[in-house]
Structure 1
Amino acid sequence: MSAPEESAGVSRRGLLGWAIGTGVAGLAVGAGAATAVAATQAGGAPVDEFAFEGPHQAGITTRVQDHLHFASFDMMPHASRDDLVSLLQDWSYAASRMAKGLDVSASGAVGGSPEAPPDDTGEAQGLGATGLTITFGLGPALFETEGDRFGIAARRPAVLVGLPAFVGDALDAAYTGGDLCIQACADDPQVAVHAIRNLSRIAFGRARLRWSQLGFGRTSRTSAEQQTPRNLFGFKDGTANILADDAKALAAHVWVGERDEPAWMAGGSYLVARKIAMLVETWDRLRLSEQDRTIGRAKGSGAPLSGGEEFTEPSFHGGRIDTNAHVRLAHPTVNDGVQILRRGYNYVDGNSDLGTLDAGLFFLSYQRTPEQFIGIQKRLSTDLMSEYIRHIGSGVWAIPPGAQKGSYVGAGLFA
């Protein structure tokens, strides 16, 4: 696939003039999607920059950043296979530039004609990359379109189906599903918002925004150097998460293998997103001892109630951890050894109509197959924490492998 030269001109088809249509040029050169390279912000402050290219998409094992903007999209009713391909190409090209702290095109926010809308909205100028990662996913509905207008039904992963109903679900269609998804994470919230804002503009005429979610305060870690964060219940969250340097666990539980089907997904993963409302006012009235019992850990130290320190492996013998405590029901030892990689965030969306805080956890997990999440979630049906949470949004997407130089995310699907 040849790489076209960048143009400073403006064309309507790509929304802002740089839609490439036949390939992706100018992608960042790096050792892998989660490789951090030295960069400098305006003013000399160091910042992480993560390569867009690599065997896996960035934003999965990348160290978890502080802010999230997640967005779900639906393809337009009239959109064709060519529209889908060109959209993924255009998105990949823009993402590769934004991951380096650049505008979405060479013309950018101020370099084009003063008589035309700028290619880039401009609010991230001068901020640098701030660890931005952009991860793209493909939803089940994309493969189910009547008449197979995208020509991909036969290449659908067998495991990519809508999630079943779970005990405690109170799903709102306004936060559920979508043909495509984008996860933008960064250490500056404006950089993450800028990414989704501009990718939404680029999608104009081909796809439209279905729903989105802002997140702050990561609720997991993927690096041993990161401290375990706390969720809005005040407990440490993600103590036992899979880490980026655990290649064996990643191969077993996160990455689609070379022998898995379909072949085009090798090196990819599957993403489950769940918007979980937390009944914080009810929780805040619980005795501390009851909060600890519900989770199965000490609120202060994060240590399991069976004894030790935060990273001590919990013991479920002797009755010190309740049979239905969250930490027990989610633990691999009671889930046939199954693990998932979590990248969730806190959210606060103001107040509800009742005057309570509209807040909770935007849960994100990556796994080799969605069946891993399904099994764990079914086990959590008796979770003591279920009394204080409601699952109000949901989605599942196939996350293709990373883009190779001169290509784009999802290219293998259309090969």
Structure 2
Amino acid sequence: MATKSKPEGRLLYAQSGGVTAVINATAAGVIEAARVKGVPVYAAHNGILGALREELIDTTKETKAAIAALRHTPGGAFGSCRYKLKSLDANRAEYERLIDVFRAHDIRWFLYNGGNDSADTALKISQLGKAMNYDIRCIGVPKTVDNDLAVTDCCPGFGSVAKYTAVSTLEASLDVASMADTSTKVFILEVMGRHAGWIAAAAGLAGEGADAPPHIILFPERPFDEAAFLAKVKATVERVGWCTVVASEGLLNAEGQFLAEAGTRDAFGHSQLGGVAPVLAALVKEKLGYKYHWALPDYLQRSARHLASKTDADQAYAVGKAAVDYALAGMNAVMPVIVRTNDAPYRWKIESAPLTKIANREKKMPASFLTKDGFGITAAARRYLAPLIQGEAPPPYGKNGLPQYITLKNAMVARKLEPFGK
């Protein structure tokens, strides 16, 4: 009986943009699946910039145990970056450089783990490969805490930040409630979410009913109404004794401007937001005179692997494994997406979707997920969100009481090309 020969060539994996608590679980899924198929995996150091600079990491130098430990380690094990490749017409040299690097190292499969911009990059590279007569299969791998990728039911990374946000809202609210008589009356938690309020909505899982926190959720999908907000805060404090507010960083005023615009932009062209929580807090103090506290979890939201959702961790690993299966099956310009097949009990599966339906598209909160007053989530939103935070997947802890996270060796591959100016 003839044995099936292993595929020829190497696979290159790269992480993009802001990392998540479970992006390394996806990396583990990629590397472990490729090892089963006998395919060596290189990882780009610091995302797409590593590919351009020919800074490639040889993951075959890592032990089986080290790769397995990625499943419970936060951050980006190989480094990530915020760097957006321009269009093919605007900067063809960068895309051609990538093909040159692929050719020099016999890279036949490229897996780009990121969001909307990364899906667009993978799509463009797949198109250029054909134009330059180089056989490269490009797979976009979903990742974003913002949950704003089109087609997929949810994004790996979101479930864990949703769990962290809901738990933090609940715990902080218990603290506020215990001190409200003589101290803080209003607590404001600012969460990530530039254009889509998925993370803010997840805070709504902390409690149900008018008197349960969060009492007010502010979404970027609804223009901020100062008068309505202040009236809601005042009514809540008078009725409950205190008020918890959760606000998305992307909150907009009636003119469509960010309430917390800082005036600068990142590498993707996104506005740098300066903090909506202190703006709201100052408003509450000035107009209502209530004592307040506010918090900005920022990186803590997306790095909190100790509080990760098991559902999210499982999905993150599954899309990595599926991406390898798709690539080695000859598929190109697709992404493994999560398909929900049942709400209760929650069931899901992985299917492929073309990058043309995902790249540069943005999924916002459906109007049916927001209450009529715009300050809370509906039962439909709860049905969607609740399964995504289910289950615990704690990391192993050491004698020092801290999680045992892994730091890889990240042995670099010898360069074969001249330096590139990036």
Q: Normalising TM by the smaller chain, what interval?
A: under 0.3
Relative to the length of structure 1, the TM-score reads: 0.24
TM-score (norm: length of structure 2) = 0.24
Q: Say which structure is richer in helix.
A: 2
